[in-house]
Structures are given as C-alpha cells and as structure tokens.
Amino acid sequence: MIALRVSYFLRCTSTGLRNLSTTTTKPKTGVVLVNMGGPERVDQVHDYLHRIMTDRDMIQLPIAQDHLGPWIAKRRTPEVQKKYQEIGGGSPILKWTQLQGKLLCEKLDRESPETAPHKPYVAFRYVEPFTADAFSQMENDEVQHAIIFSQFPQYSCATSGSSFNEIYKLFQKRTIPNGMRMTVIDRWPTHPLLAKCFADNINKELQQIPEDKRKQAIILFSAHSLPLKAVNRGDAYPSEVGATVHQVMQELNFSQPYQLVWQSKVGPLPWLGPMTDEAIKSYVKQGKKTFVVVPIAFVNEHIETLHELDIEYCKELAEEVGVEIIRRVPAPNDHPLFIEALCDIVKTHIKNKIPVSSKFLNRCPHCINPNCVPSKKWYSEVCAF
C-alpha cells in the first residue's frame, strides 16, 4: 500500500505539475482552493507548527497561548520532522492541490466557457502559498470573480471556518481589488460524485481481498477528530462527516459492515470517538481481522494518510494486534470522478447565483470565537454575483 501512495506521489510530481497555468490570457474567474497546507521540506516543520499552535482560530490553549504555543511547537518539531522524513521528506499536499486545481480549471474552461478563462489559486493557512499570496496573484491577474472554494468537504469551525476568518482578517488590512467579486463555496459533504469517487476507490480495494474474506471486511471511515467542547458548541463537522459516510454506503448498497471512526487526537481533553486505532484493537478482540480504511474527510494525500493511517495503523498497529488483512483506500487525489465533482460544484454554484450560503452565515449556538461575528457580517456584505 505504501508503494501505491509513492507511485501516486511520483506521478503527481513528474507529470501532473507541468504547465500549471491553464491559460495564457488574463483569467476571468479565479478558483481559490482553501486548505491548511503542509510542509514540503522538513526544515519548514517548525514554522508550520508554530503558526498552528499560536492560531486561536484553530486551537484554543487553556492558558498563555502566546508562550505555550511556541513551546509546544518547538518541543514537537523533531518528532514531526521524523514523520515527514518517513513519508519521503515532506507533504505532497501542495502538489496534489495544484494538480487538482489545474484539472478542475481545464474542465471548467471546456464546460463553462461563459466564465472562462479559469485559473486556480492555492490559499494555505500555515505554509506557502499563503492566503495573502493567492489574493495578491489574483489582483495582479485582474481576476473578475474570485470563488473561494473550501477543500474541506465537511465544514468545521477549526478548518473551513478559521480559513474563512483568515480571509476576512486579510481584508481588514487591504482593500478588495477594484472589479473583483467574491463568492463562497463553504461545504459539499453529500455531493453525489464525491460519494461515487469514494465508493469506486473502496470497491477497488475490496476486490483485492480474497472472496471468502471480503464480506466480513469492515469499512472504517476515518476522519480527523474534534474536541467534544467544539462539538457541544454546535460545530457541524460530525454530522456532515456522517452524512458523507451514509452517501458512500448507499453507493455501495450497504454491502459491508462499516463504522465511522476518528483519528489525530491531540492533548488530554475529550475528543470525538471511537478513535481509529482503538477501534481496530477492539474489533480484533472481537475476532474481526479484515479491514478497509477510508480517509473520508481528506481529499488528497498528506501526513495523516501517509503516516498515521499507512504506517502507524495499517502497518505497525496491524502487525502488533494480529490483523490479517488491512487495506487503505487512497484519498480522491486526481480521480476523474473527483475532478468531475469539483467541476460540478463550481458550475452549480455559478448557476444558482447564491454568493454565500445562509448556513455559513449562521453562527454556532454557543460560538465563542470573537472573529466570527464581524467575519460573517463582512461576507454577507461583500459577497455578490
């Protein structure tokens, strides 16, 4: 399985990134692909962690975040650098995002000529290219319509929400370029082509399991966990992840036993469970030893798929507890159905002419983030077709 991920990565780096610009003329529509990002080199890890641990929109430490955050980042850097070294020296998330954007905009140019030319812009939170870089490039390109497109299918205040707040904060320091309209795609957890993409990848992995074991294979849909205090504030993420899982299982005709599980817990506070590794251990104790692991909330390969799932769970943990068969489904990456899904989402957004969804503008009932009030008000005022 690890060899499969490496082949994906090499294909992405060697062929998929040539001629990333989709047009030689000025783009009319800019598609801003919003994500957290990941360090491409191990020497970027400390700064990446420092930005995360000092970002109150992302993480709220109980005390002295300006001091405790940098200390945690420095302390964790060697361990995290080692993990990146074990997956090839850095995260492939930028290369995948660039390739996805390239394929998306090429398809949009063909299928939506009235809004062409289209050009992708990557806006990462914690590593280059930063959010400010994307908007500076669009200003230089004189983009007329900027579609801010979250690359998190399921909305969470910590990921999508904090990214949109980052854009709001950017434009408190600079003006929106003359002639540029902005609109928002904030979530898309139940898009049918997203479900078909996951189902297709799952079926391919199931076919690699001997027929006498296949029916007993448990599909573990693994998503990044969330602190329970965030869930109790009203974060939509758990329900939207569950909706994606249900949509995928409908595509599979509910052919397998399945379970939604959670990964990547950090710190001692209670988080959403059951955790992926603990679920594997418990199922093995029940005598169930065949698994298909699906990164249901990730759209491209990065540290949490290539290391946490592939190495820590599917290799090391599986050997430790006596798993017989475990296969990890690849993230959507450049799957044709996924690119088709992205294209359909953008086309539908343009056709419906809803510049920002009412769900996005509605705060969580127990919201405590001081940025959310002015941010959502700003989006309601500036977004327009």
Determine which one of 47, 133, 200, 344 is catalytic: 344
| Tokens (6 digits) for 247 | 């949509």
Distance in angstroms (rounded) separating the CA atoms of residues 197 and 191: 10
Determine which one of 191, 224, 302, 307 is catalytic: 191
Residue 344 is among the residues annotated as catalytic for this protein = yes
Distance in angstroms (rounded) separating the CA atoms of residues 123 and 306: 22
SS (H, E, C) 251-290: HCCCCCCEEEEEECCCCCCCECCCEHHHHHHHHHHCCCCE
How many Cβ atoms sit within 10 Å of the Cβ of residue 360? Answer: 21
Rg (alpha carbons) of the chain, rounded to whole number: 21
Angle at 157 between CA 121 and CA 352, to 5 degrees: 55
Place of tokens 């869930």: 231
Distance in angstroms (rounded) separating the CA atoms of residues 7 and 30: 30
Tell me the torsion sign for CA atoms 276, 295, 7, 89.
negative
| Tokens (6 digits) for 104 | 């998306």
Residues 6 or more apart whose CB falls under 8 angstroms from that of 221 comprise: 241, 244, 245, 248, 258, 259, 260, 261, 294, 296
- The residue type of 51 is R
Distance in angstroms (rounded) separating the CA atoms of residues 191 and 374: 30
| Tokens (6 digits) for 306 | 């290539």
Which pairs count as long-range contacts for 305-308, CB under 8 Å and 24+ apart, including other chains?
Answer: 305/5, 305/331, 306/2, 306/5, 306/87, 306/88, 306/92, 307/83, 307/84, 307/86, 307/87, 308/263, 308/264
Distance in angstroms (rounded) separating the CA atoms of residues 200 and 306: 20
Residue 212 is among the residues annotated as catalytic for this protein = no
Show which residues are catalytic. 191, 344
